[in-house]
Amino acid sequence: MPELPEVETVMRSLQKNLTGLAITGVTINLSKVIRLPGAEEFKSALTGRSIESFGRRGKYLLIHLSGGYTLVIHLRMTGRLVYADPGDELPRHTHVILQLDNGRELRFTDIRQFGRMILIPTESLGEAPELRDLGREPLEKGFTRDFLRKELRRRRTRLKALLLDQTFIAGLGNIYVDEALHRARLHPERLANSLNPREVTRIFHAIQEVLEEGINNRGTSFRDYVDGDGRSGNYQELLRVYSREGHPCPNCRKPINRIKVSGRSTYFCPCCQKP
C-alpha cells in the first residue's frame, strides 16, 4: 500500500526516467480514475505538454508539466505507475497510459480502481481539496517535536487514529504507523493527550526513522507495490510488527498481537507496547 516511502520511491524512479519528456498522447480505459477535468479534456490538456519536474505531498505524487499544469496522482491501495515499453505485455487493470515522445509510455494500473488522477493549474495546487487540508510533511522542517507535543496534548483520540489522520501528518499509513508505534514502545490505543514528554520524543523520532528506513529500502512491497521501474521494495523484510501476527517480537520474542483500531488491522507487541 503506497504510503510516503513508496510514493517517494515511485517519484524518484520516475524523475530519473521521465524528466524532460513530452506527452504525445493519452489513452483512458477507465475514465472514473480521472477526477478532474473530464476524460476528453484531460486528454487534450495533457497532450503536447512536457514533464518538467516531480514532487510529492503526503501520499500524493505530483508531476509538474509545462504550461503551468500539475498532474496529481494518488495510488491508494493497489495503484502502480510504471514506465514501460509499448511492446511490454500490458497488465490487466491498466486504466490510463501516457504516451511519451521517446517511444515509451507511463502506465497507470490499479486492480481495485481506488487510485485517482487530477489535472489542475500548478498555481491552484494549494487550494485543491485533495491537498489543501493535508497536515505537515513528517520529513520536513515544519515537523518538530514541539509541534507534535502541542498537537498531541490538544487531541482526545487514540494515538493510532491520530497518526493515520492525513490532516495531522501527511503520508503515514497503516504499515508505518504500526512500525513507528512499536519502535516508540507505545500502545496504539493510548490516548494522544496521555503521552509524557519522553514518550512524545520517542514517537517523534520513531516516525521519522521508520519513514527514512522505508525510503532507504525503496518501500514495502507487501502485495502490489512496485516503483516506476516495476521493481519491488525491500522494507517488508525489515518490518517488526506489521502483518506479523504470531511472529516473535524482535525485542522480547513474545508473539505479535493483532487488534482492530479505527477499523484498521493493528499489529503490536503486547509486552513492549503496554496500554
Q: Smaller CB distance to DNA: residue 63 or 239?
A: 239
Q: Is 32 in the site for DNA (CB under 7 A)?
A: yes
Q: Smaller CB distance to DNA: residue 19 or 113?
A: 113
Q: Smaller CB distance to DNA: residue 231 or 264?
A: 264
Cα–Cα nearest to 124, from 68, 183, 205, 59? 68
Site string for DNA, 79-118 (x = CB under 7 A): -------------xx-----------------xxxx----
Q: Is 194 in the site for DNA (CB under 7 A)?
A: no
Instruction: Give the range of 18-26, 100-108, 197-205, 263-271 binding DNA by CB under 7 A.
Output: 263-271
**Residue 95: what residue type?**
H
Q: Is 271 in the site for DNA (CB under 7 A)?
A: no
**224-243: which residues touch DNA (CB under 7 A)?**
243
Q: Is 76 in the site for DNA (CB under 7 A)?
A: yes
Q: Which three cell numbers stand for residue 201?
A: 520524543
C-beta atoms surrounding 83 within 10 Å: 20
Q: Which three cell numbers stand for residue 200?
A: 512524545
Q: HEC states along 84-111?
A: ECCCCCCCCCEEEEEEECCCCEEEEEEC
Q: Smaller CB distance to DNA: residue 32 or 274?
A: 32
Residue identified by cell 510488527 is 241
**115-174: which residues touch DNA (CB under 7 A)?**
130, 155-158, 161, 164, 166, 173-174
Residue identified by cell 516503483 is 227
**47-66: which residues touch DNA (CB under 7 A)?**
58-59
Q: In degrees rounded to 5, what are phi and psi of residue 92?
A: -55, 155
Q: Smaller CB distance to DNA: residue 23 or 170?
A: 170
Residue identified by cell 517511444 is 103
C-beta atoms surrounding 220 within 10 Å: 28
Separation of alpha carbons 240 and 236, rounded Å: 9
Footprint on this chain of DNA (rule: CB under 7 A): 1, 3, 32, 58-59, 74, 76-78, 92-93, 111-114, 130, 155-158, 161, 164, 166, 173-175, 243, 262-265
